[in-house]
């Protein structure tokens, strides 16, 4: 029997990141039965309810702990979600060190795997003579951006934010300056991100939630970079890791059962993204004008695109819809005001399109389940993801926004119809079906992602054998 190997993983106080890294842990212990994982989560005020629910179904060789909470009142006021989360992670670093210490003395840790915004953990891993890795819940393109950000910042990358001029991130499709991560426009957020990026060379390797066949050019460039300047660090593409969701008693799923195949547009901006009241109105009228069936996961509006990322609103979202909207769309529209089983919805035969904020988890789920997308990025690296899926992979269409930053109802209706019933939609469906097959192949026993995760496990075993 193989000797048990224990690793610790640390995330940040954001559900999308926590869900992805827990998905990685589940896949790791499924492939390597002798691995044991301790998940460590920083918290702001209280653990995230969705995370608590997710942790109820862990296998026995994964356990978890929450670090003492950082109180929101002690964080910078009126700051962006990146600043809040990064500051919370920084304040939690001493607690993380104290959480790791007993693990090292009782069941020696082979490695720490950290979120890219928890890179202080890399330094702590060195203190305790462990291997250290970064787990990117985002794409290989985002990894390339962050790995090269110190040099790009020296060249004035933030000065391009309002220009059409494209930025060449190594190994990636060119990105227009205005599609760089929105956090770069906030000096405080940009500086905190830059501090994290400067620690990345400390890592012994990088795990990425993507698969080789989809981002082969990017990963080849990353591997060359890491071999040349990062102490021969390894780059493992081990995805796609997506979250399974199922709700047998869900009213929205029962509604889907009554619809025709590929007839429903699923509309969701993820767990933390929000739109303004004006944009919510235009979206509602656009869905109505399109004439297409839709299932909309509705959240209360907020003038900040990441308004629900740290603390969600308690307001009833239905009160913000245009007068008479629900009555006028009755029968062909269904509005959900709480959680919806996203992967169950995307995998349903009635679902023919996905209007998404382009968070990487959602984009991957759409690719894995073969659903064409309407790309509507809102914050973080979502604009980069939108460029990748529209211009690179060509599996999505993106609406145009006016000079006031609004997508107008006529534009929304036009793009929705192009995806759902147009010839372009059929072409997109063909391309995304091929990606769906490639994603499935990557996860097979002899697939590229399974081999990469096996190589990661072998590196742990070799290290433990030398210590």
Q: What letters, b where the CB count within 10 A reaches 16 and e where it falls short, cover 438-459?
A: bbeebbeeebbbbbbbeebbeb
The catalytically annotated residue of 6, 32, 36, 115 is 115
Sorted by sequence, the CB contacts under 8 Å of residue 151 that are 6+ apart come out as none
Is 33 assigned a catalytic role?
no
CA 162 to centroid of chain Cα atoms: 25
Is 441 assigned a catalytic role?
no
Q: What are phi and psi of 119, to 5 degrees?
A: -70, -10
CB-based contacts of 447-451 (< 8 A; 24+ apart in sequence): 448/211, 448/212, 448/213, 448/237, 449/211, 449/212, 449/237, 449/238, 449/239, 449/240, 450/31
**Number of residues written out for the chain:** 467
Annotated catalytic sites, by residue?
A: 17, 115
């Amino acid at each position: 029997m193989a000797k048990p190997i224990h690793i610790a993983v640390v995330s940040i106080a954001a559900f999308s990141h926590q869900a992805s890294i827990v998905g990685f842990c589940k896949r790791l212990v499924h492939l390597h039965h002798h691995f044991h994982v301790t998940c460590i989560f920083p918290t702001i005020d209280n653990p995230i309810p969705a995370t608590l629910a997710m942790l109820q179904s862990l296998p026995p060789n994964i356990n978890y702990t929450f670090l003492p909470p950082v109180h929101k009142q002690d964080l910078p006021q009126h700051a962006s979600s990146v600043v809040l989360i990064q500051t919370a992670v920084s304040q939690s670093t001493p607690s993380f060190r104290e959480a790791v210490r007993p693990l090292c003395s009782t069941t020696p840790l082979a490695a720490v795997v950290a979120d890219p915004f928890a890179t202080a953990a890399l330094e702590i891993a060195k203190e305790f003579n462990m291997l250290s890795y970064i787990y990117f819940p985002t794409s290989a393109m985002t990894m390339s951006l962050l790995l090269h950000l110190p040099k790009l910042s020296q060249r004035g990358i933030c000065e391009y934010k309002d220009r059409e001029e494209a930025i060449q991130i190594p190994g990636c499709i060119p990105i227009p300056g205005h599609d760089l991560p929105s956090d770069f426009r906030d000096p405080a957020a940009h500086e905190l991100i830059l501090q994290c990026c400067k620690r990345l060379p400390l890592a012994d390797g990088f795990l990425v939630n993507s698969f080789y066949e989809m981002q082969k050019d990017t990963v080849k460039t990353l591997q060359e970079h890491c071999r040349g300047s990062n102490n021969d660090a390894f780059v493992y593409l081990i995805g796609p890791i997506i979250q399974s969701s199922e709700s047998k008693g869900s009213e929205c799923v029962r509604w889907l059962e009554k619809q025709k195949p590929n007839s429903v547009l699923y509309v969701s901006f993820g767990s933390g993204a929000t739109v303004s009241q004006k944009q919510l109105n235009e979206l509602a009228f656009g869905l109505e004008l399109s004439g297409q069936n839709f299932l909309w996961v509705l959240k209360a509006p907020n003038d900040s695109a990441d308004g629900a990322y740290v603390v969600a609103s308690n307001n009833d979202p239905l009160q913000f819809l245009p007068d008479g909207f629900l009555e006028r769309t009755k029968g062909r529209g269904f509005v959900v005001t709480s959680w919806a089983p996203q992967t169950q919805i995307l995998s349903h035969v009635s679902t023919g399109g996905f209007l998404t904020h382009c968070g990487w988890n959602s984009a991957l789920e759409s690719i894995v389940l073969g659903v064409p997308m309407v790309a509507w990025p809102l914050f973080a690296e979502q604009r980069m993801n939108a460029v990748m899926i529209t211009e690179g992979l060509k599996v999505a269409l993106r609406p145009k926004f006016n000079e006031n930053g609004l997508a107008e109802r006529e534009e929304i209706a036009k793009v929705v119809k192009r995806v759902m019933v147009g010839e372009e939609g059929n072409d997109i469906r063909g391309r995304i079906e091929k990606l769906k097959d490639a994603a499935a192949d990557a996860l097979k026993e002899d697939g590229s992602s399974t081999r990469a995760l096996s190589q990661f496990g072998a590196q742990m075993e070799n290290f433990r054998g030398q210590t």
